[in-house]
Structure 1
Amino acid sequence: MNDPPDTVAVEQIIAAPPEAIFALLTDPARHRDIDGSGTVRDVKGDSARLELGRVFGMSMRLGIPYSMVSTVVEYEENRLLAWQTRGPGCIGKRVGGRIWRYVLEPVEGGTLVRETWDITHESAITKPLVRRGRNDARKNMAATLRRIEGIVAASS
């Protein structure tokens, strides 16, 4: 797949209905279970079901522990979910901005799931460093889709 310079996308057909996958994606308490990078630790604060405008926090670890705050910026029930991540508090004005997007399309045999890592709106301060993580992002997102597949298969 030939992605634009500030996005990376992976996709996989998962043998499950979009509703099952969407239910998993909209439960921030399950993000640790689906995370293919191993950096997500736990939801911070409210773990209510995600919807447009919902703000949720995550405890993370990549060498050192840190936190991120995300806002759901795109939402279409059982079809589309995207959130934008930033650092907490005033740090968020300088750190973050990437968008994680999931598009679900019903297909024969299940659902085509497309995950996109979009750093178009990443902070100018962090964007050059984050951009170097494209290959890791692709590998980790493919692992995320495999984990989603395993979870929904086990629960059906």
Structure 2
Amino acid sequence: MSGTVTTVDTGERRVSRRAVVNAPVAELFALVADPHRHAELDGSGTVRADTVEGPHRLAAGDRFTVPMRQMGVPYKITSVVTGYDENRLVEWQHPLGHRWRWEFADAGDGRTEVTETFDWGTSRSPLMARLLGFPAQNAKGITATLSALVQRYAS
């Protein structure tokens, strides 16, 4: 169903949500593959738009730095692209080991099925991630991100 954010079971220690967005795959992929535009996507409210460092189009192995703010504290995160398949997949790993993954599939009629995943099983300390509430916190952020993306392209 177009516009609805659903939970997807992608395995233990992964939080995934999916939505069908009324926009072509290439347009959505270009948005996610440009770290300078991540603040446009962020439903968690932690990504800031200023001083992003890195390419405007990610590729496997690229590094990029994004300014963040949580609980009023500013900081920067440098991530490494660990997965890339043009118009299908972009994934990056944070310094603490967890990964963010975006998958795109053509849903027909100019629509795209978008799946976003927070993989905390790759974290250096999955137990600490669980204790700090990262899975639940990021599930809310992913839902907000995908809901906003659906709204952005609503016809």
Task: State if a TM-score over 0.5 links the two structures.
Answer: yes
Query: What is the letter of the counterpart of residue 69 of structure 2?
Result: R
Aligned equivalent of 1:77: 86
Aligned equivalent of 2:97: 97
Superposed displacement of residue 3, structure 1: 5.2
- What CA RMSD, in Å, does the superposition of the two structures yield over aligned residues? 1.9
Secondary structure of the residue that 1:101 maps to in structure 2?
strand
Paired residues of 1:10 and 1:115 also in contact (CA < 8 A):
yes
Query: What is the letter of the counterpart of residue 36 of structure 2?
Result: A
Are 2:19 and 1:18 equivalent residues in the alignment? no
Are 2:62 and 1:54 equivalent residues in the alignment? yes
Secondary structure of the residue that 1:52 maps to in structure 2?
coil
How high is the sequence identity, in percent, across the aligned residues?
34
- Show structure 1 runs of 5+ residues with no match: 87-95
Aligned equivalent of 1:91: none
TM-score (norm 2): 0.84
Secondary structure of the residue that 2:115 maps to in structure 1?
strand
Paired residues of 2:36 and 2:52 also in contact (CA < 8 A):
no
Are 2:14 and 1:7 equivalent residues in the alignment? yes
Paired residues of 2:88 and 2:103 also in contact (CA < 8 A):
yes
Q: Residue 44 of structure 2 is aligned with which of 28, 33, 37?
A: 37
Superposed displacement of residue 143, structure 1: 1.0
- Segments ≥4 residues shifted beyond 4 Å: none
Paired residues of 1:21 and 1:148 also in contact (CA < 8 A):
no
Secondary structure of the residue that 1:97 maps to in structure 2?
coil
- Show structure 2 runs of 5+ residues with no match: 1-6
User: How many correspondences in the alignment?
Assistant: 143
Superposed displacement of residue 15, structure 1: 1.0
TM-score (norm 1): 0.83
Q: Specify whether residues 77 and 3 from structure 1 end up closer, same or farther in structure 2 by C-alpha distance, changes over 3 A only.
A: closer
Q: 1:65 & 1:102 partners in 2: Cα distance?
A: 25
Superposed displacement of residue 47, structure 1: 4.0
Paired residues of 2:16 and 2:115 also in contact (CA < 8 A):
yes
Secondary structure of the residue that 2:122 maps to in structure 1?
coil
Q: 2:86 & 2:139 partners in 1: Cα distance?
A: 25
Query: What is the letter of the counterpart of residue 127 of structure 2?
Result: P
